[in-house]
Structure 1
């Protein structure tokens, strides 16, 4: 599943490709992609309207128009690809198409069909579903530390589960939580209430550094992630524990272990992490 760095990489590519382009028409191929809207409504309200910005909140992409926003959640396999040729053959996994008035198009593909599109009025859309339940972005949490830590210090859930909870801290997924906890030297199965304030600050500091570096390298491509067609991320070369089960720790040489935490593959070094 694309995490914050991957979605930010997609956002940056899309901003360059479609910002200031004007909608000619919209085609919906897979209707279940849409939440609380229809193809007819989208065409009525967005035809001849310009995409004025491509924004992001956590793992959500946000196409901003003058009066509306279209919010895209890629889920497991969602991808947006831009084409200059309207006659190109679109494969069977295409679900949604923006046709622009300059004879270009932006196509959403999703092999797993888990992605969603929410259409909202622009006023206060951050205070509405699906964004209003999200916690602060994991790489921008400094001003929210006190209420954030208050939740952690009372929780008997393990710290990995807490960090994956998008209502508490937004943008971290399985890969980066494994990497962050290794960098912070914290075992993933420790209870939240056992994490000291100083340890939590270390976790957040490592989150910020790792996520920002991953953004710099275009995210992590392990299986199918691409920020654009034929373009992969490069952060996988910097992974320290994820997918390294039974390989020596880069720090101490101890073999990396793997367990399941709430069904998620969890990699750690039992010597370096406490």
Structure 2
């Protein structure tokens, strides 16, 4: 990137950070990383795009709301290339809120035991198919945020670490209680639209946590200026991992990557 453009982005980031006030973060991230739900086909140009960017720290592979029905060489190649480039690739596993909302497993069961067994089986399948290609860990989606259920997530975290030594992420999609800081390596504390993000308040424990524990996902962020504001807000809110995208109005915000100046601007702000 040309020096003049990079200087402008640095100045923009500084100005936005000064303009946004959401509280004092005692452990504000000195370095952020993009962490991307890569819910797109590995045959598209998006996987090479994220693989090529040093701003990307995490990418979630997701063939079919989980590891899929069989080994896929295209996914294996994408995971291997991203891993070799220094990107941490983790596999998607749905926990289904452990059946507490009536969600059923693939076998039509709703019990905690059935959901736990399915999650552990999918973890093992991910590693069986893609462990040798550089898979780094597991993303547990549809999480619960309250301490009354945290032991369920500690158990699947332990399963990953005891059996595969892997990295874990929990996604309650909202402000989890502080007990979750010990349930996974990273917690998704926000997942929602830009309009929601501008009015959202981070819980006090997040502002003093290790930034590398915190991940924010912001979609339906239409303009580059809104993206820049969301990035500034993420730093104010102590998120060490963040991803902002204009995608979302189609109902699936994770099936593409930003392109052009939006993408180069976002990656430059991560570097700033």
TM-score of the aligned structures, taking structure 1 as reference length: 0.30
> Looking at both structures, which has the greater relative contact order when contacts are Cα pairs under 8 Å and sequence separation is at least 6?
2
Q: Which structure is higher in helix share? A: 2
* Higher alpha-carbon Rg: 1
